[in-house]
Amino acid sequence: MKKFLLMILMLVLITFLYLSYLFYSGINIDQLNFVQRWAANSVFASFDNYLNSIPKDQRAIVGYDVLMNQLNFIERNFAERIFSINPKTIGFKGPKYSKEKPGKLVKVESVKVEGRETGIQYCPEHSYNDYLLMMEKMKKDIGKQLHIDSGYRSPGKQAYLFFYYLTTSSEYSLKENAKWIAMPGYSEHGNPVNNAIDFTSENGINGFSDNQTAKDFEALPEFDWLMKNANQFNFYLSYPKDNPFGVAYEPWHWHWESK
């Protein structure tokens, strides 16, 4: 009986050491191992539980430290290891932006589009005012307008989205994730001045929801209008085809930049 118990204890110890080794081993940017996948899912679950517990109008601007403080020791250790990776290592070649919050944000109420809602968004006052002028001109020219699907996002919300997309991918690949979602501090959505806006059409075409692709947004007359006119309102396409930043083509993603 004692030998049997000793064998069980040895197996438990060996298993614990093996799992610990897999957790603390180097992170494969092409595919996380199964223990690290578990950790990633646990981080996202804690993030998600907290965001769902706070008012909807606070979710896009949740603080990075506030969100990280919701994690237990193991989760935080893993999340910090992920966010300490140099983005260039996983293929992102864009600049790093300030983590400071914009001085004044305009609250943009959620809008119903076909099959979903945009959710409450925020924009710096200068970019939102130019957006309104741009939509007024678009409506006059082609009888259509675009809604804000994603405006300013705090580094905290960016951290949440990074783990959301990482854990919803079957590959759990940091390298693939970096093509679509930047790490906290590296997203144009979090730029306190030259922030980005993701647009959606009135009938819900944004290029990435509900099995949509970039071609769906690219085919919109609204996109054609943006290509011809958006620069007049200080909006610029951030990630065209074959861009040098390692980011996938995003025809819906336009950043504000002063002339």
Domains in the chain, start-ordered, CATH in brackets?
1-259 (3.30.1380.10)
Do the beta carbons of residue 194 and residue 257 sit within 8 Å?
Answer: yes
The 196-201 sheet, strands edge to edge: 146-150, 196-201, 253-256, 235-237
Residue 210 predicted with pLDDT over 80: yes
Q: What is the mean predicted confidence (pLDDT) over 137-148?
A: 98
- Please tell me the distance from the alpha carbon of residue 194 to that of residue 188, in angstroms, as a whole number: 7
Angstrom distances, CA of residue 42 to CA of 28, 35, 60, 74, 178: 18, 11, 21, 9, 20
Residue 175's pLDDT is what? 96
pLDDT in tens, 163-202: 999 999 888 999 999 999 999 999 999 998 899 999 999 9
Residue 113: CB atoms within 10 Å: 18
Confidence of residue 19 (pLDDT cuts 50, 70, 90): confident
Tokens representing 57? 């109008």
CB of 133 closer than 8 Å to CB of 57:
no
Could you tell me the pTM of the whole model? Answer: 0.92
